[in-house]
Amino acid sequence: MEKPELKENELIKDIEGWEGLYAITSFGRVWNYRESKWYDFSQFSGNCVRFTAYKQAKLSLPALVLAYFGEFDNHSRLKISYKDGNHKNCAIDNLMPLCQKKVKCKETGKVYNSASKASMDMAGNVHYSIKIANCCRGASKKTKINDQYYSFEYI
């Protein structure tokens, strides 16, 4: 069984239930031990890994990276945002789980079920989800959305 060549500071772990068959890295790469090669996800439209050894599974690549190298152990329904906006970049330092806490805009008083819902309502897309979540956590005081500044809090 050939060992994969890792990039500098890249960590690797066997995927539970697929030990000795598949491994995942902190850079979001998947190693196939049987074929001694890295999976190439650039050709796929989604971020799901299909495993077909002695059993079949379809798993979310970013959720696997967060489960193995992040602080999240229940990744089955985890919503994930990408800090650089690139859904192909599944490196652990690019992934940000979006919590499902209710969010309140202090200026409007409107309550949303999540940061992504607030972003969709206020901007028409989810691109501000991370900034809204950062504001709720206190990492920033205000978030600029469509040329106006807003502050948010979790409730």
Is domain 12-97 in CATH 3.40.50.300, yes or no?
Answer: no
Report in angstroms the alpha-carbon separations of 15 from 24, 43, 51, 65, 124.
6, 22, 11, 10, 37
Look over the chain and give the mean of its residue pLDDT values, rounded to a whole number.
81
Domain boundaries, the chain: 12-97, 99-154
Q: pLDDT tens, 84-109?
A: 878 888 899 988 877 667 899 999 99
Identify the pLDDT of residue 129.
80
Contact 128, 119 (CB under 8 A): yes
Which amino acid makes up residue 153?
E
30 strand-pairing partners: 24
Report in angstroms the alpha-carbon separations of 114 from 2, 98, 135, 149.
44, 8, 13, 18
Q: 129-137 and 115-123 are packed helices; what angle lies between their axes, rounded to 10 degrees?
A: 130
Region 79-87: mean pLDDT is 81
| Banded model confidence at residue 18, pLDDT cuts 50, 70, 90 | confident
Identify the pLDDT of residue 75.
47
Contact 122, 114 (CB under 8 A): no
% pLDDT > 90, the chain: 29
Distance CA 34, CA 101 (A): 42
% pLDDT > 70, the chain: 80
Distance CA 99, CA 122 (A): 18
Q: pLDDT tens, 42-72?
A: 555 566 666 555 556 667 788 788 878 876 6
